[in-house]
Amino acid sequence: MSNTGDTANAGGGSFIGVFMATAIPALIGALLAAGLLFALVYSQTQGPDTNPASKEILVYGD
């Protein structure tokens, strides 16, 4: 059997090692998802810079 250099998982790994290997990427993913969701909701709920109702839709006689 060849040695691939992966000594962390050779003995099954410790509970803390396996937990950290699972929890850290999950935490980073959750933070990224929450940040992107907040940015999306914030951008969609901002009011327009100008009032679109103040523009004339039809101009007669010009």
Q: What is the model's pLDDT at position 52?
A: 79
In a domain, residue 35? The reply is: yes
Domain extent at residue 35 = 15-43
DSSP secondary structure, 5-37, as one string? S--TTTT---HHHHHHHHHHHHHHHHHHHHHHH
Higher pLDDT: 48 or 8? It is 48
- 8-26: per-residue pLDDT in tens? 555 557 988 998 999 999 9
Assess whether pLDDT exceeds 80 at residue 4: no
Contact 8, 17 (CB under 8 A): yes
Q: Is the pTM of this model over 0.85?
A: no
pLDDT, greater one: 3 or 57: 57
30 occurs within a structural domain: yes
> Does 51 fall in a domain?
no
pLDDT at 8: 54
Instruction: Give dist(CA 57, CA 48) in Å, integer.
Output: 17
- Cα separation, 15 vs 13, whole angstroms: 7
